[in-house]
Amino acid sequence: MHSSIQLGRIAGIPVGIHYTWLVAFALVAWSLAAGFFPLNYPGWAPLAYWVTGVVAALGLFGCVLLHELSHSLVARARGHGVHSITLFIFGGVSNIAEESENPADEFWISVVGPLTSFALAVLAWLLTRLVALPNTPLGALLAYLAVINLMLGVFNLLPGFPLDGGRVLRSLLWATTGSLYRATQVASYVGQGFGFLLIFWGLWQLLSGNFLGGLWIAFIGWFLNGAAETVRQQQVLKERLQGVRVAELMNPRPPIASPALSVQDFVCTHVMREGHRALLVEDEAGRLLGIVSITDAREVPQAQWATTPVGAIMTRVPLKTVAPDTALADALQLLVEHGLNQLPVLAAGRAVGLLSRADIIRYLQLREELNRRGAGGRRP
């Protein structure tokens, strides 16, 4: 997830917080210190409420981190790469490198999160029995963590795709039907239905006077509804790209530049006149040095274009690259995940092509147009 603050690594996995987490943390700490703890544990000093509220909010997000870490560790144990874990306003997300290749992987990677939350709930409950100080900040903190982890486990098991429960549902449908596409369609529609229920429930709470709680519930429903629709559209896109390889869409004669080419010549000749968004930069021996794009050129003041070589502003190797036989769906995922507009295509260490987002969009538009003509009775 973009716009995150890196905190460090756990088991080699980068951990960060999205800026929206700061909002969530402040809201949770405030609601606990000003509402939950005073209501359920009267008689404390004001400072005790705030200290307990802040520690409880940190404990909540610590438990969310453990929840996500369990997803990541199981994913890695089953052969998946894990890029990072990010905490954000709605909880956390594990950035797993690729989708599961079979329903068993999907099931175990998904179900371990709620199981971890249930285990944390049991642990916190056992500690409340050992501490046996029910009206103290420590006892209240442990009781809160027991209840909130139980709620997290139950909520994540609900079939609100792409929540854990929705992914468990998809894995079961996938195993039953043998079709990931069909399983994703059904699970995403169920997830959208669950999202709409949360929206209506939130609006009802708003009308009943619970403004903050109703708004929060409706916002979660809106988020789940959008996420489910996005996943379904992505799966439809992957289905359309099924069987297509990078070699079929790449530019097999990509424009090549010397590192000595000036930014002015790059912009005026290659961008404005020839319509190239980016050039591969190679040395005289044909070795790839990097890639320069109009985004790089925008970082240079126009007065310095004539004296600045592209070698000084290009993105240098190592770059994100693909091979000619890479599945087009995988290349598109790489473009989206890293916010790229083009990918060099390498074979035996040499650049043999350039794939851009525009190439994929053009292909999809042409395919859609041909499908419409075919549906109208004419053969494409």
The pair phi, psi for residue 157, each rounded to 5°, is -85, -10
CA dihedral 231, 232, 238, 241 (to 10 degrees): -140
Q: Six-digit token pair at 286?
A: 């044909």
Give the C-alpha separation, 259 to 311, whole Å: 4
Please give the DSSP secondary-structure letter assigned to residue 287: -
Give the position of tokens 């905490």.
87
Q: What contacts 56, CB < 8 A, 6 or more positions away?
A: 28, 29, 32, 37, 141, 144, 145
Q: Six-digit token pair at 117?
A: 């939350």
Give the C-alpha separation, 181 to 234, whole Å: 10
Q: Six-digit token pair at 300?
A: 């240079």
- Strand (E) or helix (H) holding 31: helix 19-31
Give the C-alpha separation, 151 to 312, whole Å: 54
Beta-strand (E) ranges in the chain?
A: 4-10, 13-18, 82-88, 91-96, 256-257, 278-282, 288-293, 315-316, 342-347, 350-356
Q: What contacts 274, CB < 8 A, 6 or more positions away?
A: 255
The two counts, helices (H) then strands (E), for the chain are 13, 10
Q: Which listed residue (68, 229, 282, 284) is catalytic? A: 68
Write the burial class of residue 154 (CB in 10 Å: 0-12 exposed, 13-18 middle, 19+ buried). Answer: middle
> Known catalytic residue: 68?
yes
Q: Tell me how far the alpha carbon of residue 129 is from its chain's centroid.
A: 39
The angle subtended at Cα 332 by Cα 255 and Cα 296, nearest 5°, is 45
Give the C-alpha separation, 373 to 139, whole Å: 69
Catalytic residues: 68
